[in-house]
């Protein structure tokens, strides 16, 4: 054992970065990738969307235009000046549903190319759901704080595993979507608090109120604005938010999960942040990439990074 570990035996142990792959889906498939685009099956509908990580060519030599992809229902065209628009071969419903285990999610193509769900995060849902179920089986109640909660997939997964959850997002429409996903998943009466607020302001109020949580999940954006127009910039504000979150963790925290979708962070940076944050707590820290298997050729599409602290 090193001298530094002898001096601080409670310091969390860090593991090497690892790629974790969300390969448990039935209602979703990443069918093919190439030339900056990906073809996905969302239930009974197939969508083609851009992805900046896909810089390799199509294996069959095809391009990235609509004529080069077969059997799609919706195709997102990028604009050279930013943004884009959907092209649909046939009218699609306003939304449809897909399932993951007992969870059911509302899917809707949005004007900014997303669908309301990040399927690669299923591998994190599975991880923290087991931790919650194991804690419950040991007779422990678990409370979870989900920051930047978006449409609430992680909130629903944690609630389905038996936790009470506080879901926070600055966008009222996303919080409403979370409520809808919870209802679709049979969780309309689950102990979920739905909060539309700026995350920094909310956690500071929770500190004053003395409220504590056993676990925290967060998916911070690169840039953003709070419900009152507050500016968020990842490099400037993430550590400040993490320090505030440490104040609302219970005396025996269960886990802390950070997801990120920005090229500005590496998994090692997230691991280092968690190491600084949880330096006085026993536990293990891991980090890496989350990915999706590509059905056509067996590659994995990296879809973001994660860092996990767990007791």
Q: Could you report the per-residue pLDDT of 56-67, keeping only the tens digit for each?
A: 998 877 766 777
- More reliable by pLDDT, 148 or 63: 148
Q: What is the overall mean pLDDT for the chain? A: 92
What is the CA 13 to chain-centroid distance, rounded?
24
Give me the helix-helix angle, 267-277 and 234-248, nearest 10°: 40
- More reliable by pLDDT, 11 or 268: 268
pLDDT at site 231: 78
CB 48 within 8 A of CB 58: no
| Tens digit of each residue's pLDDT (9 = 90 or more) over 187-225 | 999 999 999 999 999 999 999 999 999 999 999 998 877
Superfamily assignment of 28-94 in CATH?
Answer: Golgi alpha-mannosidase II (2.60.40.1180)
Does the pLDDT of residue 6 top 60, yes or no? no
Q: Domain residues of the chain, as ranges?
A: 13-23+116-310, 28-94
- More reliable by pLDDT, 162 or 222: 162
| Tens digit of each residue's pLDDT (9 = 90 or more) over 37-57 | 999 999 999 999 999 999 999
Range with lowest mean pLDDT among 110-124, 157-171, 256-270 = 256-270
What is the CA 91 to chain-centroid distance, rounded?
29
What pairs with residue 257 in β-bridges? 217, 308
Report residue 195 as tokens. Answer: 């909060």
Q: How far apart are CA 99 and CA 25, in angstroms?
A: 8
Give a three-class secondary structure readout of the chain.
Answer: CCHHHHHCCCCCEECCCEEEECCCCCCEEEEEEECCEEEEEECCEEEEEECCCCCCCCCCCCCCCHHHCCCCCEEEEECCCCCEEEEECCCCCCCEEEEECCEEEEECCCCCCCCCCCHHHHHHHHHHHHHHHHHHHCCCCCEEEEECCCCCHHHHHHHHCCCEEEEEECCHHHHHHHHHHHHHCCCCCCCEEEEECCHHHHHHHHHHHCCCECEEEECCCCEEECCCCCEEEHHHHHHHHHHHHHHHECCCCCEEEEEECCCCCCHHHHHHHHHHHCCCCCCEEEEEEEEEEECCCCCEEEEEEEEEEEC
Range with lowest mean pLDDT among 19-28, 98-107, 216-225, 266-275 = 216-225
Please state which CATH number belongs to domain 13-23+116-310: 3.40.50.150
Average pLDDT of span 69-76: 92
- Would 13-23+116-310 and 28-94 be classified into the same CATH topology? no
Report residue 81 as tokens. Answer: 């000046």
Average pLDDT of span 287-307: 96
Report residue 265 as tokens. Answer: 């962070």
Q: How far apart are CA 104 and CA 188, in angstroms?
A: 12
């Amino acid at each position: 054992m090193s001298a530094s570990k002898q001096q601080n035996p409670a310091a969390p142990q860090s593991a090497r970065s690892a790629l974790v792959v969300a390969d448990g889906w039935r209602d979703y498939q990443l069918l093919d990738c190439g030339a900056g685009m990906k073809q996905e099956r969302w239930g009974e509908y197939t969508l083609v969307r851009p992805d900046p990580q896909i810089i390799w060519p199509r294996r069959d030599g095809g391009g990235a235009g609509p004529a080069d992809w077969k059997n799609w229902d919706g195709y997102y065209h990028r604009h050279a000046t930013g943004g884009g628009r959907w092209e649909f071969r046939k009218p699609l419903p306003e939304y449809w549903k897909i399932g993951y285990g007992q969870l059911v999610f509302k899917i809707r193509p949005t004007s900014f190319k997303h669908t309301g769900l990040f399927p690669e995060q299923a591998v994190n849902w599975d991880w923290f759901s087991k931790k919650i179920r194991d804690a419950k089986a040991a007779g422990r109640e678990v409370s979870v704080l989900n920051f930047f909660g978006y449409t609430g997939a992680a909130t629903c997964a944690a609630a389905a595993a038996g936790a009470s959850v506080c879901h926070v997002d600055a966008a009222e429409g996303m919080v409403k979507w979370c409520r809808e996903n919870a209802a679709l998943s049979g969780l309309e009466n689950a102990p979920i608090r739905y909060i539309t607020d700026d995350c920094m302001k909310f956690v500071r109020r929770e500190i004053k109120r003395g409220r504590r949580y056993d676990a925290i999940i967060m998916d911070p954006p690169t840039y953003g604005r709070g419900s009152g127009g507050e500016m968020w910039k990842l490099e400037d504000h993430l550590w400040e938010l993490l320090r505030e979150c440490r104040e609302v963790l219970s005396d025996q925290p269960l886990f802390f999960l950070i997801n990120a979708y920005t090229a500005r962070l590496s998994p090692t940076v997230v691991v280092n942040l968690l190491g600084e944050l949880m330096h006085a707590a026993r536990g293990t820290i891991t980090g890496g990439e989350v990915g999706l298997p590509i059905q056509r050729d067996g590659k994995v599409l990296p879809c973001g990074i994660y860092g996990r602290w767990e007791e």
